[in-house]
Amino acid sequence: MKLVILESGAKARTIKKYLGRGWMVDACNGHVQDLPHGGGNKDSSKAMWASKKGELPDPPWSWTNKAEQIMEKISTKAEKAGVEEVYIATDPDREGEFIAWRLSQILSNFSQVYRISFNEITKDAVTGAISNPRNLDMALVEAAIVRRLMDRLVGFRCSKFCRSWKLRSMGRVQTPTLGYIVDKELEREAHVPKEYNTVSGITNDVEIKVRFHESNDPEAWKDDDGKHFPDRTSNSERAKSVFSTMESSKEVKLNSVKESVVSRKPQPPFTTDTMLQTASSSLGWSISKTSGVASKLYQSGHITYIRTDSTRTNKKARDVMKGHIIKKFGNDFLGDGIGQGKNKKKGSIQDAHEAIRPTNPESETIASDEDEKLLYKLIWSRFAASQMSNSIRERRALTFSCEGMKESIYGTTSWRTHSGWEEVFKWNRPEVNSVPPDVSFDNGSVWQLDGPPEITVDFTKPPRRFSDSSIIQQMKKDGIGRPSTYVSTVSKLIDRKYVDKEGSSLSPTIQG
């Protein structure tokens, strides 16, 4: 009898199916030992940091909640069953390595204790890892220890400040994240609305706009950041005059046509942050919901590990997906493929793991509940798209004039000639026009307006508040947090009443 020990019970149940008789598969439910909470008395906290120069402290490790009973139960059961070989299969990240290290100490009475890891919960991946056990990665373990020591050193100093302000907590990731949300609110409060006028219309289903000013025009309309908007003017009388002329004319003359072909590349497979952001924008899900559904998909063996900064994928998986694309869509839909190499992007800290992808690329759907099906379809589509050809559009940039007006009018029209990677996203995106306008593109041709033009008087809006999706984008950009902490950081800020969430908008409370 052999024992495999994992972090999650759901993952353990999936792996038990693969291994069958002769194997015990159990879960430790995450961290089993950690630094003591609180600070203890002054002497014990001093002892915790004691070490020689160039060496890490060797603090006392305390059992986490219920962990001692769980590990006693697992050990007793394994000893009774005559287990000699133990395989520690905690998650393939820094925290997983730390848990594996503590488990290796706790289970040291067994004759052989191995560390194994895998990026996907499939039979091949699990049996392959068991056949090739590895040593503990002590560099990762030490990184986890340093993180804990820094938490305590900073945390103890901050706790007095927290108490004096009646705050529940401070955190090295929570604090700068809250800072972004507060800064955005201050920007919003400082915003002074600025009026502008626009005139637009529709001709042959093409939206057209009047161009009032060039960027070097003294009256050019610019926003607070100095960005020039040629279709906006502060001169309301001029806007009314232009509107009146277009309304009377009911037609525009085509002066120039600039032809171009637009080739749109597919995006790489999902990383943690892009999965959370895309599920928010395309499915309308909160980041906590996406994270929970993704965990179930991973633990059930449907997708690869969900905490990753990498867009790299397994060659075998890419080849299987390419074969599926050729079979279903044809050779024209096969692209060069994304995900062959390591990230070159600065700050990519989790490149040890693959991007998030389906473990069986040929399965476009799974037998599961609706939420899991939906997120799986999104992950599958993103991976499939990464191996497909670019989508192609014909584009026409058009310039018009209207009799009695000195201002030019501009618009663009486009139609898709090859769907490429967009084919696999037809299930959740609006239909794309694939037919050019039924009208002459010859210079001098007259286009009738589809209806009366429209004049708009509006004011600039304050910058949008962060959503739980865009705050993660900001954290990623500035290297705050890591894939496994994005969701919990934002959730804690809300739970601890530092941030309010209305719809998808995040705003700071007075306490925040």
Locus of tokens 């938490």: 151
d(CA 270, CA 267): 9
Question: What is the set of active-site residues?
Answer: 305
Question: Hey, what are 114's tokens?
Answer: 């191995």
Rounded CA gap, 439 and 337, in Å? 38
How many whole angstroms separate alpha carbon 217 and alpha carbon 197? 16
Return the H-helix or E-strand segment holding 410: strand 408-418
Q: Name the phi and psi angles at 107, rounded to 5.
A: -100, 20
The Cα–Cα gap between 486 and 80 comes to 42
CB 291 within 8 A of CB 353: no
Residue 398: count of CB within 10 angstroms of its CB? 21
Q: Can you spell out the DSSP letters for 356-397?
A: B-BSSTT-S--SS-HHHHHHHHHHHHHHHHHTBPPEEEEEEE
- How far apart are alpha carbons 314 and 317 in whole angstroms? 5
SS3 308: coil
d(CA 168, CA 496): 7
Task: In whole angstroms, give the CA distance from residue 266 to residue 264.
Answer: 7
DSSP lists the bridge partners of residue 309 as none
Rounded CA-CA distance 146/139 in Å is: 11
